[in-house]
Amino acid sequence: MTVLVTGAAGFIGFHLVNALLDRGERVVGVDNFIHFYDPALKQARVQALLKRDDFSFHDLDVGDPKALAALFEGYASIDRVLHMAGQPGVRRSITHPWEFIRSNIDGQLAMVEAVRQLPDFKHLVFASSSSVYGDSKEVPFSLDNRADRPRSLYAASKRAAEHIAATYSHLYGIPTTGLRFFTVYGPWGRPDMAALLFIDAVMRGNKLWLFNGGNLKRDFTYIDDIVAGVLAALDRPPAKDREGLPYAIYNLGNHRTVDVRDFVKVVEAACGKPAKVEDAPMQPGDVHVTYADISASTRDLGFMPRTPIEEGIPRTVEWYKRYYGVD
């Protein structure tokens, strides 16, 4: 049988496709190369994947229900989906709100509408975000925490996607798992996120802007740990909950917070260069802390992150030097 991975040209999707192929799965990947960051990086990921056997790729917008339905018709063997596609970016959601509705809400609806038509479908796993917790003061972020006060449209769109998936699970019995990711970083990472932004600034001798004067804490999670968690979720479709829904939500994070200024020190050590730090005000839509309670994902999925930033950041720096040719 076959796994569909949406957002296959993206950071997490790329690593998931590789991991699935490594364990002998047949994989269909889709992406529409949204120009949120340099599309050359996305193209490079896809070109690397296309060198592997048992992988096929389609340039497709998951927000287009007809195109998505046609894809499933062309691959009758698809029985599981890792729906990683979506528009990321807290600050961009303030300036480009319609992109987030199209990708994160229309795309989610198109996906659940498509899979509900499949007679032997096994499991839909989709990407959510720690952003749904807003600027919660209850830490670590537990699944019992409130998630109804988003600080950005990005967060609101991800929470809406969770509700859409839960509704379809209830109506049609679709086995569905949502995964709330916490600040994922690593090789082939998104250049708009802190790890690559900081590494790039230090390596090139540019200013490194620390929002809120660096008085922020993040639950930085290495990509290999995230991949292990996603695959564990994929292999364990949820049992019916107390309301009879085969639906579950989990946090996937490192279960520890790191002060952003301490994170900069680890980046400096890995790069072998000092950072030119400049303080900046808190950004609209941002939050002060992210911190994952992973007790449920450890209990049900065996999820146990193993990579501290002291290991993950040097690996990311080495990839950065090779890919960008900067030393």
Alpha-carbon distances of 272 from 202, 258, 269, rounded to whole Å? 9, 20, 5
CA-wise closest residue to 4 among 100, 111, 110 = 111
Which H helix or E strand runs over 124? strand 123-129
Q: Are 25 and 3 contacting, i.e. CB atoms less than 8 angstroms apart?
A: yes
Which residues are identified as catalytic? Answer: 154
In whole angstroms, give the CA distance from residue 152 to residue 90.
Answer: 6
Q: Are 60 and 35 contacting, i.e. CB atoms less than 8 angstroms apart?
A: no
For helices 194-204 and 260-271, angle between their N-to-C axes, nearest 10 degrees: 50
Residue 284 in 3-state DSSP? Answer: coil
31: its two tokens? 């992406």
In whole angstroms, give the CA distance from residue 37 to residue 17.
Answer: 20
Amino acid at 55: F
Q: Are 292 and 252 contacting, i.e. CB atoms less than 8 angstroms apart?
A: yes
Length of the chain: 327
Q: Which residues lie closer than 8 Å to 254 by C-beta, 6 or more apart?
A: 182, 219, 220, 221, 222, 225, 292, 305, 307, 308
Q: CA-based Rg of the chain, rounded to a whole angstrom? A: 19
286: its two tokens? 């941002």
CA-wise closest residue to 64 among 148, 6, 143, 116 = 6
